[in-house]
Amino acid sequence: MRYSAAFIAILASIPPTLGSRDVQRRGASARISNANTPPVTVKGNAFFVGDKRFYIRGVDYQPGGDGAKKDPLASTTDCSRDVKYFKKLGINTIRVYAVDNSVNHDECMKLLADAGIYLAVDVNTPGYSLNRETWWSLKASYNEVYMQSVFSTVEQFAKYDNTLLFFSANEVVNAINSTFAAPYIKAVGRDIKQFMKARNLRAVPSGYSAADVEENRFQMAQYLNCGGDDERSDFFAFNDYSWCAPSDFQKSGWDKKVQQYSSYPLPLFLSEYGCNTNKRDFGEVATLYSDKMTAVYSGGLSYEYSQGANKYGLVQIDNSGSIEELPDLAVLAAAFKNTPMPSGPGGYKSDAKASNCPTASNQWSVTNTSLPIMPKNAAQYMTNGAGPGPGFNKDPKYPNGSQWAGTPTPGFGAVGASSSSSSGKSGNNTGGAKKSGGVVPSAPARVTWLILASALGFAFRFL
């Protein structure tokens, strides 16, 4: 393509994104092991501890509610209090949706490990995540400031052998018209895997937690498992609230999902379940760990531990930190107690082949296999480490406490491509997205993108 002098002049006049950061760096931390929680690995479409199949049996753990800037693993007092109830439930896993990557978590992770409990942890936080509000906000949010926060969480938690897995994103694709975000979700997963390898960290399984959207959930599963090994996810999870008591395997539609995913080659599990439309009896627990499902599913996480506005809680935590047991706690504990863990390999498939990428449709807008190139300025973390993250609070090292201070790298490319090999392709992300409630880019970022868009429109008149 020819570029006019006017086009080049306008591009040269665009100011760089404001803000720079002085990031502390450190080497990979030593592994922290515990005999009660040996590391979990992936074999075929299942999780294993050594040669024994591992099934996730747990709860989602987010005291303070959805989006709260509260890290339940940062308080030894809270952690000690809640581990007692985890043991009462008889679970082996908790999921935490956001952690403060500026603080140490050794004490709580040890308390969990001593109780035989693993952690499934999301790498995003309310202030540092992919923003699906528009194509431009999504592109702008994928920058080196965001990736430093992600890598910091990975660097800190990979050292614990009871870190079960990383969620690279949660429900970013939440509607038919938001699948344009899929390449960025996949790119973050790719970057996490490359970072762990470059930093010589334990290869903790990394994957995605999908929304309960029937129209494109299976396409998302296929997409995250297509392509080369460096970009494919290690597992796929989704939130499922279709089993509403009284229900069963057929009435809930779980039988059809087992059939749909019967050939899916990655570990599959429920990242949230527990419909509360009616009084919950947790009858799905017995089915989830039965031979009806174990060849395809590896368990799941019940939503959720503490009571919030949506009334899914097992316990109520008051302002003083005291616990009140709610009726669902005993019901779920009984369901787990009456459902023994499956024995043997459970019919798992050992061959984890890549899937075919889904074709474009009204429900799926991605049209090619190229992924966004990792932000150029994030490459330093592969060599030097990420260091402490921004956490939940504003810090002078992080301008305005915002990820929008970072600079995205334009273009798409092959797996592992650097910014210098950008293909400039972006045609596989079109259409609007459902508003997510995320942060809109700050004024400097918005102005930069608007100037660039205007420059492109103006310059093409002279081509």
**Rounded to the nearest 5°, which phi and psi values hold at 394?**
-70, 140
Cα distance between residue 166 and residue 426, in whole Å: 27
226 token code pair: 């297509």
**Rounded to the nearest 5°, which phi and psi values hold at 94?**
-125, 150
Residues 6+ apart with CB under 8 A from 214: none
- Look at the block and give the residue holding tokens 């942060």: 439
**C-alpha distances out from residue 52 to 38, 165, 345, 356, 369, Å:** 11, 17, 7, 30, 35
Cα distance between residue 198 and residue 201, in whole Å: 8
- Look at the block and give the residue holding tokens 């985890």: 86
Enzyme catalytic residues = 171, 272
Cα distance between residue 233 and residue 221, in whole Å: 9
Whether the Cβ atoms of residue 349 and residue 397 lie closer than 8 Å to each other: no
Helix, strand, coil percentages (3-state) for the chain, rounded to 5, are: 30, 15, 55
